Chains A and B, each alone.
Chain A
Amino acid sequence: MPVDPDHIGRVLDAFEQEEWDEIHLVTADVEIHLIAAPGSQQEAETSHAPPVISPADPPPAGPPPAASPASPPPALAPDGTDLSDSMHRVVAPTPGLFWRAPSPGASPFTELGERVERGEAVCIIELMKLMNTLSATVTGTVVEICARDGERVDAGQVLFRIRAEEP
């Protein structure tokens, strides 16, 4: 059934009224992408960005570009070239989503350059709603974080490089 223009109007009204951040809907007939202007949440409703409404041809084949970079994203700055025995890696045991914090909005378990203790939690791999907390295998300094928060990772993918402290 073709989308009724009145219905699009109702979506726009609701978007303003409810102060949603972003709405992206795709049907057989239309694609609607609404993004609130930066900082609009506390400001007047009229500061919402003008809606982008376009016919959906062809329907999108995959996730929008913002959600899925074609190539691996640049990891947070690697520390250097030290690949000696003192370098340890934290590796994803299963595929899943990589989360750096214990819950949405919480501060990350660890940051680049920080010291971690052996056994200390460093990230979560989420697979089919199960949250698997991964821990540092060694006490040392985080010298590289190799995946972005929320990124989908594969089994065996390196997530952290940690330089072990001198024993």
Chain B
Amino acid sequence: VLARVLVANRGEIAMRVIRACFDEGVTSVLAVSEADTESLPAQTADEVVIIGPASAPLSYLNLGAVMSAALLMGCDAIHPGYGFLSERPELAELCDRHGVTFIGPPADAIRRGGDKIAARELARSLGIPVGAGSGSVSTAAEAEGVAAQAGYPVLLKAAAGGGGRGMRKVANGHELAGAIAAARSEAETAFGDGRLYVEHYVERARHVEVQVLADRLGSVVHLGDRDCSFQRRYQKLVEEAPASAVPATVRDGLTEAAVTLMRSLGYAGAGTVEFLVDVEHGTFSFLEVNTRVQVEHPLTEMITGIDIVREQLRIAAGEPLSFGQDDVRISGHAFEFRINAETPARGFTPSPGTLRAWTPPAGAGVRLDTHCFAGYRVPPDYDSLLAKLICWGETRASALALAVRALDAFGIAGVDSTLDLHRTLVRHPDVASNEITTRWVEDSFLGAWAADRGSAHPAGKGTAV
């Protein structure tokens, strides 16, 4: 049993982990930067240690600062949340060397699962479909050969990728060389690893992922799927679970593939396997493994009743899963809306500042995961996620109806946010009829939304690298 957990993250996920520690009777010790000493998680955690300046590389991304904070505070475990150090095998290894439990999979599983090219090879070897495409490509000529074989359009992706960085859609051979150069430099900048691979681009696709929990005794179960097709520039805006628009036979294939893959990785803890579902052909292909708890994990908690973060703590303590696959029951439907401090009408530029008003909705089936409060100053140093609004109903239609009311009741002032965009989105007929693909937000929704508002096209030139 764990006694003291260092929470090595900030924002809403820090709140989430602190809450799980409370529920498990574990002392939470929060590692904060100097920018976050007054944050809600800093006020909520049992103890706080300042690990460095606001700049993330010197604090939340600083392996030594996080590790030494755990040692100083006498913590027996570190929960890395998502982002920051959560998928760095070096942290898991540091923990091993210093007798601290890393709340996540073994370093080797992070390494093999996190390298996209290696993970594709593993999936292929297990008989799991992977998209037409390549291993690592190093030259434009090599990429041209692979692309011609896979068929245009193709997607260039970074081996170390995530968050859409180092990703480029290429329509034809003429664009390939330029796109490779741009994607490589982006990947170098973001991940320090410029390796790329090529995949056939599926025009009408859904992004579906499977939540997995595995204990350290070899038991691996899945908690069903989530549909994350509402995306802008490969960033998720809205997610829902279960992935009810996908045929049951396909979904069965996904969950089985996910469990097979995680078992083969020697996985332990909470993890997600992402797939692309080809809507026209009813087929799926493996995309990647996320070796951490995900932003959208509350959806699965709402439809299964299983507390994923508490399970993470128990698994890390060496306890067996308290349930088997047959005990997992999917009940109802849930949506999650990412409320970001951004100005959608200006290309989703970040909008830090002080929250003059913060009046979230409340009600049966409404859950809000957030670190915000009225008067909170949203710092310019970190990502723009303010809150995740989760709405659960017995059916998809009732969850959506609840979402309309909850979004309308939500009041935010002082910073711009994506709230208004969500209000329009949930009223769209394509959403009610569930005819969504990964292109829908950018191709069918944002343009019309912007026109209605008389503003510039929000899908226009963004500044993300």
Interface residues on B, range: 35 or more
* A22 CA / B57 CA spacing, docked (Å): 13
Query: 1/0 contact trace for B431-449 toward A, CB 8 Å?
Result: 0000000000000000000
Inter-chain contact A7/B57, CB cutoff 8 Å: no
Chain B nearest CB from A103 CB (Å) reads 4
Interface size on A, residues (CB 8 A): 44
Inter-chain contact A62/B68, CB cutoff 8 Å: no
> Closest A-chain residue to B464, C-beta based?
A130
Contacts of A68 in B (CB 8 A): 53
Within 8 A of B (CB), among A16-30: 17-18, 20-28
**Given A14-B68, A104-B57, A130-B349: A4 and B48 interface contact (C-beta under 8 Å):** no
Contacts of A4 in B (CB 8 A): 74
Inter-chain contact B384/A128, CB cutoff 8 Å: yes
Inter-chain contact B51/A25, CB cutoff 8 Å: yes
Of the candidates A23, A104, A131, the one whose C-beta lies within 8 Å of that of B68 is A23
* A127 CA / B353 CA spacing, docked (Å): 12
Contacts of A109 in B (CB 8 A): none
Query: Does B49 lie at the interface of the complex (its beta carbon under 8 Å from any beta carbon of A)?
Result: yes
Inter-chain contact B47/A94, CB cutoff 8 Å: no
Query: Does A132 lie at the interface of the complex (its beta carbon under 8 Å from any beta carbon of B)?
Result: yes
Inter-chain contact B185/A102, CB cutoff 8 Å: yes
User: Which residues of B does A touch, CB under 8 Å?
Assistant: 34, 47-55, 57-58, 64-65, 67-69, 71-74, 94, 97-98, 185, 188-189, 192, 341, 349-350, 352, 380-384, 463-465
16 contacts between A and B (CB under 8 A): A8-B72, A10-B98, A17-B97, A18-B94, A20-B64, A23-B65, A25-B50, A25-B65, A27-B47, A27-B49, A60-B50, A67-B53, A94-B350, A127-B349, A130-B465, A132-B465
Top 4 A-B pairs ranked by shortest CB distance? A128-B350, A20-B64, A131-B465, A26-B50
User: Which residues of A does B touch, CB under 8 Å?
Assistant: 1, 3-4, 7-8, 10-11, 14-15, 17-18, 20-28, 32, 60, 62-64, 67-68, 94-97, 102-104, 124, 127-133, 150, 152
